[in-house]
Structure 1
Amino acid sequence: MSGMETLVSRDLEAGATSTDAGPFAGESIAELPQVDNAREVAPADAREMSRVFLVRLRSLEEGTREYQYVRNTLIEMNVSLVHFAARRFRSRAAGAGGVDMEDILQVGTIGLIKAIDRYDPAREVEFSTLALPYITGEIKRYFRDTTWAVHVPRRLQELRTELAQSQEALNNLLGRAPTVRELAEHLDLSDEEVIEGLVAANGYTSGSLDTTGDSDEQAPAGRRTRPLAESVGEPDAAMELFEDFHTLAPLLEELSERDRHILRMRFGQELTQAEIGAELGISQMQVSRLLSRTLARLRSGMLTA
Structure 2
Amino acid sequence: MPASTAPQVPPQAVQADPAILSEDVRDARDPRAETSDRPARPAKSRGADTRALTQVLFGQLKDLEPGTPEHRRVRAALIEANIPLVRYAAARFRSRNEPMEDVVQVGTIGLINAIDRFDPERGVQFPTFAMPTVVGEIKRYFRDNVRTVHVPRRLHELWVQVTGATEDLTTAHGRSPTTAEIAERLKIAEDEVLACIEAGRSYHATSLEAAQEGDGLPGLLDRLGYEDPALAGVEHRDLVRHLLVQLPEREQRILLLRYYSNLTQSQISAELGVSQMHVSRLLARSFARLRSANRIEA
Give TM-score scaled by structure 2 length.
Answer: 0.62
Mapping of residues 43-54 of structure 1, within 5 Å = 43-54=47-58
Counterpart residue number, 1:229: 221
Q: Which amino acid aligns with 1:40?
A: R
Q: Is the 8 A contact 2:155 2:196 kept in 1?
A: yes
Q: Is residue 64 of structure 1 aligned with residue 86 of structure 2?
A: no
Q: Structure 1 residues 180, 294: closer, same or farther in 2, change over 3 A?
A: same
Q: Is residue 86 of structure 1 aligned with residue 90 of structure 2?
A: yes
Counterpart residue number, 1:116: 115
**Cα distance, 1:185 vs structure 2:** 1.6
The one of 34, 40, 57 aligned to 2:26: 40
Unaligned runs of 5+ in 1: 17-33, 220-224, 245-266, 274-287, 298-305
Q: Is residue 4 of structure 1 aligned with residue 9 of structure 2?
A: yes
Once the two structures are overlaid, the 10-residue window that deviates more, 140-149 or 71-80, is 140-149
**Cα distance, 1:189 vs structure 2:** 0.7
Between the two proteins, the alignment pairs up a number of residues equal to 232
Q: Structure 1 residues 152, 238: closer, same or farther in 2, change over 3 A?
A: farther
Q: Structure 1 residues 154, 289: closer, same or farther in 2, change over 3 A?
A: closer
Q: Which amino acid aligns with 1:4?
A: V
**Cα distance, 1:119 vs structure 2:** 0.5
Post-superposition Cα deviations, 1:18-47, rounded to whole Å, max 9, x if no partner, equal: xxxxxxxxxxxxxxxx51678418543442
Root-mean-square deviation (CA), in Å? 4.0
Greater C-alpha radius of gyration: 2
**Cα distance, 1:290 vs structure 2:** 9.8
**Cα distance, 1:293 vs structure 2:** 7.3
Q: Is residue 76 of structure 1 aligned with residue 80 of structure 2?
A: yes
Unaligned runs of 5+ in 2: 1-5, 28-45, 236-241, 248-288
User: Sequence identity of aligned pairs in percent?
Assistant: 37
Counterpart residue number, 1:296: 297
Mapping of residues 1-305 of structure 1, within 5 Å = 4=9, 6-8=11-13, 12=16, 35=20, 39-40=25-26, 43-90=47-94, 92=95, 96-97=96-97, 99-174=98-173, 176-213=175-212, 219=216, 226-235=218-227, 292=293, 294-297=295-298
Give TM-score scaled by structure 1 length.
Answer: 0.60
Q: Structure 1 residues 109, 240: closer, same or farther in 2, change over 3 A?
A: farther
**Cα distance, 1:5 vs structure 2:** 5.6
**Cα distance, 1:113 vs structure 2:** 0.6
CA–CA distance in structure 2, aligned partners of residues 182 and 175 of structure 1: 13
CA–CA distance in structure 1, aligned partners of residues 175 and 150 of structure 2: 31
